[in-house]
């Protein structure tokens, strides 16, 4: 019986780490990290992410769902447009850490996102104001 209660205690302790691992799994994808980097500069619609990352809408939506299920992004509908933003501003700090760590290891860091960059061919209000 003592062994069983030790096992239960260990299980309880590891739940937090399992939660943490699930969060890292959601982030452990190059396109999802790129989405987080883009959203680090503010809200963006799906069409903007699609144009900026040169990926098809279903693919972008799939990655956004994974980030949303992990609680990392929040969506907002405005008419026909769906906008996404980071749920917590400090998610961006993780990317700053990744940049620094890649440099420390002498490896290519993720490219820095230009918050002012307009995406050619993007129909979103930011890139194509009327």
The residues of the shown chain that bind Zn ion, judged by CB under 5 A, are 48, 119, 122, 124, 126-127
Residue nearer to Zn ion on the CB measure, 109 or 125: 125
Q: What angle do CA 15, 19, 25 make, to 5 degrees?
A: 140
Residue nearer to Zn ion on the CB measure, 38 or 122: 122
On whether the CB atoms of residues 52 and 38 are closer than 8 A, the answer is yes
- Minimum distance from residue 36 beta carbon to Zn ion (Å): 17
Residue nearer to Zn ion on the CB measure, 67 or 124: 124
- Minimum distance from residue 47 beta carbon to Zn ion (Å): 7
On whether the CB atoms of residues 38 and 113 are closer than 8 A, the answer is yes
């Amino acid at each position: 019986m003592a062994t069983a209660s030790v096992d239960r205690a260990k299980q309880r302790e590891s739940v937090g780490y399992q939660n943490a691992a699930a969060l890292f799994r959601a982030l452990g994808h190059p396109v999802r990290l790129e989405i987080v980097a883009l959203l680090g500069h503010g809200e963006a619609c799906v069409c903007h992410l699609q144009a900026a990352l040169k990926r098809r809408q279903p693919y972008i939506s799939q990655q956004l769902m994974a980030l949303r299920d992990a609680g990392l992004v929040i969506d907002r509908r405005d008419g026909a447009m769906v906008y996404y933003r980071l749920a917590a501003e400090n998610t961006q700090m993780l990317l700053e850490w990744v940049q620094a760590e890649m440099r420390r290891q002498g490896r290519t860091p993720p490219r820095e996102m230009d918050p002012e960059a307009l995406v050619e061919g993007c129909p979103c209000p930011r890139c194509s104001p009327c």
